[in-house]
Chains A and B, each alone.
Chain A
Amino acid sequence: MYSEKVMDHFQNPRNMGEIEDPSGVGTVGNAKCGDIMRMFLKIDENGVIREAKFKTFGCGAAVATSSMATELVKGKTVQEALQVTNRAVMEALDGLPPEKVHCSLLAEEAIHAALWDYAERNGIAIPACNEPGQCS
């Protein structure tokens, strides 16, 4: 059902955990739908993401997309991180079964939610960063 990459990221999730003193934290999804993703970002004074971590409640695809999303945003600027779309996450995982595509959307939303929080904390506006929504 899942690609080897999805299975690898599920079994050996990268960047799982919390950041003690994060620059931004975003939580998306809800328990009713069966997926919750929380992303923690550490962003330096130049607006570069130095560290990204996650915690996820959800299926294999939810864990794998969270893991891949943190990998993809690490080292990127805030603006570059906003370009990490659900499609990019899916492609990096060699695809997802159709019924699991919403997990990749959740990963994209988690990135946006963490960046939104970062912007709020710092009183700045990030163009094209959407306010986190509800279960997708």
Chain B
Amino acid sequence: MIYMDNAATTRTAPEVVQAMMPYFSEHYGNPSAIYSLGSSNRKAINEARRTVASFLGAKQEEIYFTAGGSEADNWALKAVAEAYAGRGKHIITTKIEHHAVLHSCEYLEKQGFEVTYLGVDRDGLVDLGELEAAIRPDTILISVMFANNEIGTIEPIGGIGDIARKHGILFHTDAVQAFGHLPIDVEELHIDLLSASGHKFNGPKGTGVLYIRTGVKAGSLIHGGAQERNRRAGTENVPGIVGLGAAVARAAATMEERAAKETAVRDYLIGRIEAEIPYCRLNGHRTKRLPGNVNFSFQFVEGESVLIMLDMKGICGSSGSACTSGSLDPSHVLLATGLKHEEAHGSLRLSLSEENTVEEADIVVEELKGILTKLRNMSPLYEDFLKGRN
């Protein structure tokens, strides 16, 4: 099997699983308990918290553990909106955010907030001038993702942080795809809130982080207990948090090496596809791009068909076609970059890990060539194109 869907989820690293194991059946105590079986687990949690904090250039008490990236995004947006509603009810975000941010914004709109959804250019980049022009006296929050999950484009986070700081507006970034893969320093980048997810960098599923800068007012999303300094109720997922900590430690130690390997295979794959497969377009920015992201639109074919045929050859990828999104519309991200519906339906994302090799890339390109020939021969759009019809 060739696994190239690491933006969906990654394999939990063996050392992460190993670190977690004792916390299921041996050290199973509740961290809030007085006796040492429980209270010693508090140390394990804080150890993980220190690891995450140091990775982000943050303070330990600014790190909160959640049940994943979606919870962190929901929490950041809803809690900040609620806490700062007295100052203003305007939020700025982009059209290419993950649905955890977009749907939270839609929810807030129903609560009386106004949201500006910034467009992006052909490569998926937000324009800083446009962002600054969108700021109003009642703007309380800017939320822009660190890197896009579909097309891999890395946004100008430092520039956005500067603008937010200059105007005294809070800045949240959904760093789910970037965290563990790119260096992030919340001080340098002027980030006030940041969401991350454990399973996107070889940690366990169902674990996440919200960084909240000291001084930022943000209440709870989950009520019912004093855990996480009164801000996130619920008995701590001790094995998950320990696993997340181990995954961050691993990511920090291997980031440069992994990024170099992935970038090499990524650019090789992009180069071969562009050279050997006609009627394709690379989606996302060519260089301001996550190390492991490859995303192409192939004309005249539909993405789900490509995915099923790749699966039959043992290759795992994903698509922004409507058929894979469960709705009638294809990916909102691809449409925001100016793609026509049919081009968005024909998209394929291959997201790499450091385990993917050039040899695997060669196999994928060869299989893809055969699959696209077969599907294009079947396609009335291709027939019309060849006959010069529309």
Contact = CB atoms under 8 A, between A and B. Distances in A.
Interface stretch (B129-137, B186-194, B353-361, B375-383): B375-383
A59 B301 CA distance: 9
Contacts of B300: 57
A55 B379 contact: yes
Contact of A32 (B305, B312, B341): B341
A81 interface: no
Given A59-B321, A60-B308, A62-B302, A34 B378 contact: no
Contact of B378 (A32, A56, A99): A56
Q: Which of A18, A38, A58 has the most CB of B within 10 A?
A: A58
B345 interface: yes
Contacts of A65: none
B336 interface: no
B305 A58 contact: yes
Given A57-B301, A60-B305, A34 B379 contact: no
Give the secondary structure class of A's interface: mixed
Nearest to B342: A31
A33 interface: yes
Contact of B321 (A34, A38, A55): A34
A111 B301 CA distance: 22
B328 interface: yes
B255 interface: no
Interface stretch (A8-16, A113-121, A126-134): A8-16
A90 interface: no
Interface of B: 300-302, 304-305, 308, 312, 321-323, 326, 328, 330, 340-342, 345, 377-383
Given A56-B379, A57-B300, A57-B301, 5 more contacts: A31-B342, A34-B323, A37-B380, A60-B308, A62-B302
Closest 3 CB pairs of A and B: A31-B342, A59-B323, A59-B304
